[in-house]
Amino acid sequence: MKTAGNERVRVDKFKQFDCVTDFSDHHYHARSKSKQKKNSSNGSVNNDKSTVKRIMKEWEILEKNLPESIFVRVYEGRIDLLRAAVIGARNTPYHNGVFFFDIKFPPDYPNSPPKVYYRSFGLRLNPNLYATGYVCLSLLNTWAGNGIERWSPKSTILQVLLSLQGLVLNEKPYFNEPGIKPTWSWESYNADVFVLSCKTMLFLLRNPAKNFEGLIAEHFRDNASVILRACVEYLEGRVRIGFFNGDGVGAAAPVCSTKKIKVSRKFRDAIHELYPQLYKAFNGVGASLTGLPEKINVRETPASGFIGKLKKFWKKLRA
């Protein structure tokens, strides 16, 4: 039993770090394969000894220091490529999700930062992660930053992965957007993020990333119950979205309330549609779903105030 952030996740069989051979679906291989020399075993690093030596050092750092919620695969035939899976941490709207990043070492690495592509499936679930796969991060020099925030030859891939997990996939991603003023709209953003995270789960289960099929199946097999229960808790307004612990109660959310938490119709409709798809997909990988319904009903929230009175008035007129 292992931990993602503070979330317990069972991934006993899948190695955190390993060297594999199949890089055929890697984003940067697909983009550059026409330019690669057929006889080059190191891809675009061009056999530069200093770059190769540094990449080997990066492998060693990752193998020894990866947190238990990040998994990496490197490639025997393309040492300039790397793929990482990051599990969303507890107390964030990304909890129990799995997020993939394809990485490429440039020919002059580490003088230049690595290129990082987020496997988005066309969804933008964070201000820093674009639907196109573009990753906006100071450490990659793709966003403004000063000093240690920027890439330097002493920076590492491990730092990049930890930044993606801790700074990007955080509890209130709404505030990742520069210039945002403190408001309560972070809650509605969290709702959208959770929905997109659930959609990402479905994409992964239907089309798993190469060399990570075992992780995806095992992770969702072990965490299906928590994810589905979170859907119900959020839908019923018992827990603020992003703060479901998995033990039947919500975490200590930033704003406490004894009243039911309001959720939008947009969120209710989305979860109503996604829940049975998730249930079916989780069941397909052998998850234990005992006691969980195959679908959930959206309860109508009684109308109140002026709008409620107006609806009642029109209802009487139609009667």
Q: Which of 217, 213, 216, 209 is nearest to 102 (CA)?
A: 209
Numbers of helices and strands, H then E, in the chain: 7, 7
Quick check: 161 and 86 in contact, CB under 8 A?
A: yes
256 is catalytic: no
Residue tagged active-site, from 136, 198, 231, 256: 136
Structure tokens at 66: 């990866």
> What DSSP string describes 65-107?
H--TTEEEEEESS-TTEEEEEEEPPTTSTTTT-EEEEEEE--T
Cα–Cα dist 265/201, whole Å: 22
216: enclosing H helix or E strand: helix 213-235
Kindly list the distances between the CA atom of residue 295 and the CA atoms of 165, 271, 314, in Å, as whole numbers in the listed order. 31, 10, 32
- Active site residues per annotation: 136
